[in-house]
Amino acid sequence: MTTDAIGFIGLGRMGLPMARNLGAKGYRVHVFDLDAGVRARAAALPGLAALGAPKEVAAATDVLLTALPDDDIVTETYLGRQGILAGARSGLVTCDCSTVSPEVSQRISAAARHKGVTHLDTPMLGSSPQAESGEVFFMVGGDREALPRVEPVLAAIGRLTMHVGPSGMGNRIKLLHNALGAVNAVAVAESLTLAATLGVDLRTYIDVVKNGGGMAFSTYFDRRALRVVEGDYTPTFTLDLMQKDVTLAARMAAGLLERLPILRETLAAYTEGKAGGFGGEDFSAVTQVVEQRLGARVGAGRA
């Protein structure tokens, strides 16, 4: 068997377009998802074949990718009775594209070694548009010597792959990154809502920030500020997922969290948003938390 036999487990907003892109580029992709309807839709795509359990996917492939929502599901998918390691052959390389606790990656990596399997944590930067277009950025934690096995596969669905350190380091950096993005979202929400209360025309304010050359401009502001003003919270990355990532970043900080007030407030805002029913909306919906706190609507400042 050659390494063009690929496994992909987790066919959600990111996973399905990534698996589809692999199939479109000529790979034989064995896929699994807990949702039978999703499996059926995937099996109808060129190059994709659906199997009945993670261990079946592992037995059929040489490189296996997973894109799953949280620690518990990742752990069960790899270590459970029907999991990947239950069916894996020696020599398999697994790439977990999920965002999970570094400790989960390290636990799976240690268990995999006992079966002759190499496990890499390969969390992604990008959301569903980048998954669709094949422009995801992969951070790889784990054995650098395994990179030649997986780089052609990752290159088929991404724009860049970077080795960032030993097992777990990919997820450490991903959580730091997402926490910083979440901080930015809360800061922009406060700025826009305050501007609205002061009678500032928000479209004018957005133009100033975007085109003025000052330090307030960011990728988040560029992609989300106008959408927020328009009340468009169509998700490409949900508030629920961002709340999960900020929670994991706070746990990673451990005893240092009490000296990180910005991270604590960001976690509080996202937790409030999840409790308030905004979890299925885009993570920029944290703006609605700030609106409720200030008793104002960002829309009040529209032209």
How far is it, in rounded angstroms, from Cα 212 to Cα 22?
41
Radius of gyration of the chain (CA): 21
Choose among 252, 257, 195: nearest CA to 225.
195
Taking phi over 0 as left and psi of -120 to 50 as alpha, with beta for the rest, 162 belongs to beta
Structure tokens at 65: 């990718």
How far is it, in rounded angstroms, from Cα 285 to Cα 238?
9
Establish whether 174 is a catalytic residue. Answer: yes
Show the DSSP H helices in 158-238 as ranges: 169-197, 202-211, 219-229
How far is it, in rounded angstroms, from Cα 96 to Cα 112?
12
Check if the beta carbon of residue 109 is closer than 8 Å to that of residue 142.
yes
How far is it, in rounded angstroms, from Cα 102 to Cα 98?
11
What secondary structure letter does DSSP report for 89?
A: P
* Angle between helix 15-24 and 147-157 (nearest 10): 100
Cα-based angle 17, 22, 27 (whole degrees, multiple of 5): 150
CA distances (Å), origin 127, targets 72, 83, 85, 102: 21, 26, 28, 21
Check if the beta carbon of residue 55 is closer than 8 Å to that of residue 84.
yes
- Marked catalytic residue, from 55, 115, 174, 244: 174
- Annotated catalytic residues are 174
